[in-house]
Amino acid sequence: MIPVPRGPGGRMGRMDIMLFHSAYGLTPSVEAAAERLRAAGHKVWTPDLYGGRTVGTVEEGVALRDEIGKDELLKRAVLAAAPYSERGLVYMGLSLGASIAQTLALGDEKARGLLLFHGTSDLAESASVDELPVQLHVADPDPFETHDWLSSWYLQMRRAGADVEIYRYPGAGHVYTDPELPDWDEESAERTWSVALAFLDSL
């Protein structure tokens, strides 16, 4: 009998996912996204980088992010992921959380993949990965992820060694997968989830 390849923890093809919330905080919609992943058979953690606080607007989210500080948020994210990193995590994030997920994935040699919704981050010139699978889903246009920036980001990620796919969704709002926000675009959200779940199944 030929052995069947299995994912982390012996679960066939299923991933251990560290999902980081957006600038709005750990809202019910983030937990709903996690449940959607769990329903597909994945193990998911949703660290609360805001310590229980949530906000109702992007402006409030930016203010809270700045109040806590990017370095402190990253420190909290690293501490949340550290107990599970030996498993070979898929790092996933929403908007602000995507930038955090990217930073952690590029610094974790055991990372299995990087799944980004609505956001990216700068890359250090020394960033290097071994064909890390990366998938980005983003509105088109997106005021926070312009075409020029995404072209540059793609080239930088490829130069770092990542295997990158970018999916754009014309007419959608910035955080279009969140049904609690004015950005919500049901059709684009469902397309995103369909492609993203297939991506996870391929890892």
Q: How many CA atoms lie within 13 A of 31 on its CB side?
A: 5
Which pLDDT does position 13 carry in this prediction? 57
- Say how far apart CA 13 and CA 5 lie, in whole Å: 8
Pure H helices in 123-185: 147-160
Min mean pLDDT across 30-34, 123-127, 130-134, 173-177 is at 123-127
Confidence of residue 11 (pLDDT cuts 50, 70, 90): very low
In sequence order, which residues have a C-beta less than 8 Å from that of residue 90 and are 6 or more positions away?
A: 15, 16, 17, 18, 111, 112, 113, 114, 115, 200, 203
User: 0.85 exceeded by the pTM?
Assistant: yes
DSSP state of 4: P
Predicted confidence at residue 125, as pLDDT, reads 87
pLDDT at 17 over 50: yes
Dihedral angle of Cα 7, 73, 53, 20, to the nearest 10 degrees: -20
CB of 103 closer than 8 Å to CB of 132: no
pLDDT tens by residue, 44-69 = 999 999 999 999 998 999 999 999 99
Residue whose entry in the numeric block shows the structure tokens 């957006």: 22
CB 139 within 8 A of CB 118: yes
pLDDT average, residue stretch 113-126? 95
* Domains in the chain, CATH or no CATH each: 17-201 (3.40.50.1820)
Handedness of CA 51, 52, 58, 64 (dihedral sign): negative
Residue 10: pLDDT band (50, 70, 90) is very low
Give the count of alpha carbons within 13 A of 140, CB side only: 12
Contact assessment for residue 20 and residue 100, using Cβ atoms and an 8 Å cutoff: yes
Dump pLDDT digits (tens) for 18-48.
999 999 999 999 999 999 999 999 999 999 9
For residue 108, pLDDT over 60 is answered with: yes
> What's the rounded Cα separation, in Å, for the pair 46 and 37?
11
Dist CA 99 CA 102 (whole Å): 5
Q: What is the DSSP string of 46-100?
A: ---TTTT---SSHHHHHHHHHHH-HHHHHHHHHHHHGGGGGG-PEEEEETHHHHH
